[in-house]
């Protein structure tokens, strides 16, 4: 049993009563009225929390909807996700926050809405932040695009602080990235594709760190992909700037070289960068500069992605592969301990968003994942619960899998060979 919130990493039993964790002890006697799950050889941990998903609902439900997205999340071991507001219409009004919350009630995991910074996410006028906070938005973001106006972002940060909401920034200077489809470097030159320089991310990270310092607001940098961003965030944290950051599984393991097959499953924004950047984001994850791993799950229908690389939309899915990628590439290799992985995939994102989860403390909602750390499996997108198939990990052999996902004491996904017995 691993619980980073309590420094717990040892063999134990957990008792769940009425959807909550009632006790965690070295040994608990079985109760006649409670089914027993034998998790010998498994890791029991707080359910994973993905603070960055796109569920396309409302508006583009042919790609994903809240039901299918939450099902994909539960299969991947996630018990809670926060969905980005770039829907149609965007989550820029309390009525849309209410819509997401109402659809989430019957979903396979908890789904929290992130609301827009600006009305329509077009960067002109502030969204009604007080109303969005009151209706249950857990953060503010114009993700998909950056907040281009520094003045607007400064005002958004000041308001967000009044409601203790983090502002999540998609850091990209559109005047530097315009027309780009992959990382600007040797591979973009070889492949003849227009590049997105690392500086387009870093310029906005620098600006946003200054604004976080001026306003005292909680800045969260989404999908950090470049060495320069890691360096600036590390330096800002040292000085006490209230900044947190996330990295995606794909930016931890893939480089721009993968684009050479012109497969749009390797096209996302920010793009895959160089081996030196991958090394830097890994170092940032290990030294605490990067707090969380988030998937940026971005579904697109096959017919939308099956076009020439230049024309395909940005984005890849990640909920059903995240744990496998992290376990295979970072835990099995000894780079991250299992407890560190759970911290980055659960405890840290829950605490950044101040949502329930990320802990097994008695009294908490019984949101748990059972991980088989040695289960070998092969990624086959055809079997995914997501409506979309755009994964860069198709055919990969993974070690480590979520074999059971429990949300509020209910089993939402099970692939466990030993079944529950009463």
As measured in angstroms, the least distance from the Cβ of 52 to Zn ion is 8
Return the number of the residue (154 or 170) whose C-beta is nearest Zn ion.
170
As measured in angstroms, the least distance from the Cβ of 139 to Zn ion is 13
Phi/psi-derived region of residue 73, left when phi > 0, alpha when psi is between -120 and 50, beta in every other case: alpha
CA 408/CA 364 separation, integer angstroms: 9
Helices (H) and strands (E) in the chain, counts: 14, 18
Give me the residues paired with residue 78 across strands: 48
Tell me, rounded to whole angstroms, the distance of Cα 230 from its chain centroid.
18
As measured in angstroms, the least distance from the Cβ of 156 to Zn ion is 16
Give me the residues paired with residue 405 across strands: 369, 413
Task: For residue 104, give the nearest of 138, 53, 70 by alpha carbon.
Answer: 70
As measured in angstroms, the least distance from the Cβ of 42 to Zn ion is 34
Return the number of the residue (170 or 401) whose C-beta is nearest Zn ion.
170
Place of tokens 């099970």: 414
Return the number of the residue (225 or 328) whose C-beta is nearest Zn ion.
225
Contacts with Zn ion, residue ranges (CB under 5 A): 143, 170
Say which of 65, 296, 340, 372 is annotated catalytic: 296
As measured in angstroms, the least distance from the Cβ of 327 to Zn ion is 25
**Collapsed DSSP state (helix, strand, coil) of residue 100:** helix
Return the number of the residue (177 or 386) whose C-beta is nearest Zn ion.
177
Task: For residue 318, give the nearest of 417, 220, 384 by alpha carbon.
Answer: 384
Is residue 296 part of the annotated active site? The answer reads: yes
**Beta strand residue intervals within 31-108, DSSP E:** 43-46, 48-53, 78-83
Per-residue b or e along 71-102, where b marks 16 or more CB atoms closer than 10 Å to that residue's CB: bbbbbbbbbbbbbbbbbeebbbbbebbebbbe
CA terminus-to-terminus distance, the chain:
22
Return the number of the residue (208 or 340) whose C-beta is nearest Zn ion.
208
As measured in angstroms, the least distance from the Cβ of 143 to Zn ion is 4
Return the number of the residue (46 or 249) whose C-beta is nearest Zn ion.
249
Residues 6+ apart with CB under 8 A from 152: 117, 118, 123, 124, 126
**Collapsed DSSP state (helix, strand, coil) of residue 122:** coil
Give me the residues paired with residue 17 across strands: 20
Closest-by-Cβ residue to Zn ion is 170
Return the number of the residue (131 or 197) whose C-beta is nearest Zn ion.
197
Quick one: three-class SS letters along 175-212? HHHCCCCEECCHHHHHHCCCEECHHHHHHHHHHHHHHH
Structural element, H or E, at residue 373: strand 368-378
Residues 6+ apart with CB under 8 A from 400: 323, 324, 326, 327, 328, 331, 332, 371, 372, 373, 374, 375
As measured in angstroms, the least distance from the Cβ of 388 to Zn ion is 17
Return the number of the residue (298 or 330) whose C-beta is nearest Zn ion.
298
**8 A C-beta contact, residue 347 and residue 2:** no
As measured in angstroms, the least distance from the Cβ of 247 to Zn ion is 12
Place of tokens 């579904």: 299
Which are the catalytic amino acids?
296
């Amino acid at each position: 049993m691993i619980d980073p919130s309590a420094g717990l990493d040892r063999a134990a039993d957990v008792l769940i009563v009425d959807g909550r964790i009632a006790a965690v002890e070295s040994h608990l006697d079985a109760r006649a009225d409670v089914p027993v799950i034998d998790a010998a050889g498994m890791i029991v941990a707080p359910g994973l929390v993905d603070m960055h998903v796109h569920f396309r609902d409302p508006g583009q439900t042919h790609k994903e909807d809240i039901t299918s997205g939450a099902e994909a999340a539960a299969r991947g071991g996630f018990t809670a996700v926060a969905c980005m507001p770039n829907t149609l219409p965007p989550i820029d009004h309390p009525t849309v926050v209410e819509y997401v919350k109402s659809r989430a009630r019957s979903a396979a995991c908890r789904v929290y809405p992130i609301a827009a910074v600006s009305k329509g996410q077009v960067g002109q006028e502030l969204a009604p932040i007080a109303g969005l906070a009151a209706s249950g938005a857990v953060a503010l973001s114009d993700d998909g695009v950056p907040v281009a106006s520094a003045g607007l972002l400064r005002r958004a940060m000041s308001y967000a602080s009044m409601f203790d909401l983090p502002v999540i920034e998609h850091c990209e200077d559109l005047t530097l990235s315009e027309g780009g489809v992959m990382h600007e470097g040797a591979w973009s030159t070889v492949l003849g594709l227009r590049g997105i320089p690392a500086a387009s991310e870093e310029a906005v990270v620098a600006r946003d760190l200054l604004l976080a310092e001026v306003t005292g607001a909680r800045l969260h940098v989404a999908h950090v992909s470049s060495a320069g961003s890691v360096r600036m965030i590390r330096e800002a944290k040292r000085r006490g700037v209230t900044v947190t950051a996330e990295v995606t599984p794909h930016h931890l393991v893939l480089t721009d070289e993968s684009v050479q097959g012109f497969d749009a499953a390797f096209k996302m924004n920010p793009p895959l960068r160089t081996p030196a950047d991958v090394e830097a984001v890994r170092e940032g994850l290990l030294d605490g500069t990067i707090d969380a791993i988030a998937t940026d799950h971005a579904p697109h229908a096959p017919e939308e992605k099956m076009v020439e690389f230049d024309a395909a939309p940005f984005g890849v899915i990640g909920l059903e592969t995240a744990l496998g990628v992290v376990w295979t590439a970072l835990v099995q290799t000894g780079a991250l301990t299992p407890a560190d992985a759970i911290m980055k995939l659960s405890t840290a994102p829950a605490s950044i968003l101040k949502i329930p989860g990320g802990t097994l403390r008695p009294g908490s909602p019984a949101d748990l994942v059972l991980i088989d750390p040695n289960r070998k499996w092969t990624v086959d997108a055809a079997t995914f619960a997501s409506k979309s198939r755009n994964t860069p990990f198709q055919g990969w052999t993974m070690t480590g899998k979520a074999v059971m996902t429990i949300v509020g004491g209910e089993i939402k996904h099970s692939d466990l060979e030993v079944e529950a017995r009463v």
